[in-house]
Amino acid sequence: MESAKLWLRDNCNAERLQHVVKSTRVKRLLTVKAVPYVLLALAAVALLVKFVQDKRKRPRTWLSGRPPSPDPEKPTDVTTYAEKRMKATDRTPGTWTPSDFKRPAAAPYPEWSVTDTRPLPYRPFRHGPYHITMGLRSMQWDEWIELDNHYMRFHEDKKRRIKARGSKCCLTNPDPRVWDGAVELLEELSAYLSERYPSMFKKTEVGVDNVVTNESFDVKELTMNGVKEDPMQLCARLTQDDLAIMFEKEDGQYYLLAGAILLAGFWRLEDKYGMPLSEIHTSGDVPGYKQKLEKGMMNFMRRVKPDGAVIRNNYFMQVDDDLAWSSSIGSEDAEDGIGWFTAEKDRAIKHHYFRSERQSLRRLPRSGGVVFTIRTYFHPVTEIAEEPYVPGRLASAVRSWGEDVAKYKGRERYGDVLLEFLDRKHEEQVAGGLDVSHEEGVRTYPY
């Protein structure tokens, strides 16, 4: 009996062992056969992830096929930006020790074309209420200078104005530090543009060539096609931007001592040249400057480092189509009497233009000068009002201006006509199915 029990136990154990062995073989077999399927599944997941990432990187249709800027941080006032983002400095005012910072090389702009690449659609206005801030954002180095298929118009306008107005528009103080700063900017532009827009600009042993306009720039000799020019004037011929360099003096103030201001629309270099930053703004009656911007702006200028470039956007309305100088506010050659009070009231909407500026600020590492680039975007209001959400948001922004801002921007001369038109276009868009609740997902500041 006992033998029978032992036999049954051993037999059961043997069967269990065979079952385990068989199961292990099956699992091994299944594992081996499953390897290709696991690999295929992993590959599918990787492709899906790449697809999602690529989709996020693709430009929105309203960017006209052009790669967008990185999503900007929420714009903030200049005081907060300087205090939170920039370290304090203990250097003596008016002094600068050259920095060894080198701007990162710019990647070539993908598929950039002087005939096909459209301007970025900056629409830097928000639904009310309106707040007076600088709206600074960190700048990506690849985006320092923006060129597009308006380049030739800007270039021809600049060339015409350089010939007609010369040093009234382009001027560099002969002080050695200032002069070196202007040359440094020319060097920076020559290097950057040949990296970012290689189909137009070619680096040479002495500077850079513009192969579209057939202009050759010698940075050392300060010539264009062999003709000697002011260094800021040479800089102006390269870009669509207006340019200004400010330098700190012993009193701690920053002075406009080098500039190429050719397409500013509402202000003249000859009026502001040599002024400190605060006087530039107060003489132009910039709303809220003394109360809300001056202290922070001075703090920012003092702290900004060569590796800490920033950008900001603003906008204006104009009731004529002259990019270089808005004749509606008076003659560019008038000594006084310039202002919105001279503009014709309630001009037809076809005369209304949307003028937007994209400004960058960076410190030059060698000279210590702070460079402002001022790129203007100029479009008929009737054109931008066709874009989804734009007329409603712009109408809200214009209505939210305080009295000081409204006076500065001239709303009294055009506001009734503009707002009636924008309201009507907004109503048409809503009637056509526009869902205003989705606006933030479609258009984000500053677009």
Q: Average per-residue pLDDT in the chain?
A: 86
Q: What is the pTM of this model?
A: 0.81
Q: Is the pLDDT of residue 420 over 80?
A: yes
State yes or no: pLDDT of 68 exceeds 60.
no
pLDDT at 120 over 60: yes
Percent of the chain topping pLDDT 90: 71
User: For 39, what's the count of Cα atoms within 13 Å in the CB-facing half-sphere?
Assistant: 6
Supply the pLDDT for residue 284: 84
Residue 156 pLDDT > 90, yes or no?
Answer: yes
Q: Which pLDDT does position 50 carry in this prediction?
A: 54
User: Does residue 404 surpass a pLDDT of 90?
Assistant: yes
From CA 222, how far away is CA 206, in angstroms rounded? 10
pLDDT of residue 393 exceeding 80, the answer is yes
Residue 10 reports pLDDT greater than 60: no
Residue 30, pLDDT above cutoff 50: no
Q: Does residue 165 carry a pLDDT above 80?
A: yes
Mean pLDDT, rounded, for 426-442: 94
Domain coordinates of the chain in residue numbers? 1-58, 59-442
User: Which pLDDT belongs to residue 88?
Assistant: 66
Confidence of residue 336 (pLDDT cuts 50, 70, 90): confident
Length of the chain: 447
Mean pLDDT over 225-254 rounds to 97
Q: Is the pLDDT of residue 17 over 70?
A: no
Of the ranges 16-30, 50-64, 67-81, 247-261, the best mean pLDDT one: 247-261
Question: Does the pLDDT of residue 434 top 60, yes or no?
Answer: yes
pLDDT at 122: 97
pLDDT of residue 141: 96
Q: Is the pLDDT of residue 52 over 50?
A: no
Tell me the average pLDDT across 131-144. Answer: 91
Task: Of 56-60, 240-244, 327-331, 411-415, give the lowest mean pLDDT range.
Answer: 56-60
- State mean pLDDT over 406-418: 97
**What does the pLDDT look like over 179-235, one tens digit per residue?**
999 999 999 999 999 999 999 999 999 999 999 999 999 999 999 999 999 999 999
| Percent over 70 (pLDDT), the chain | 80
Residue 13, pLDDT above cutoff 90: no
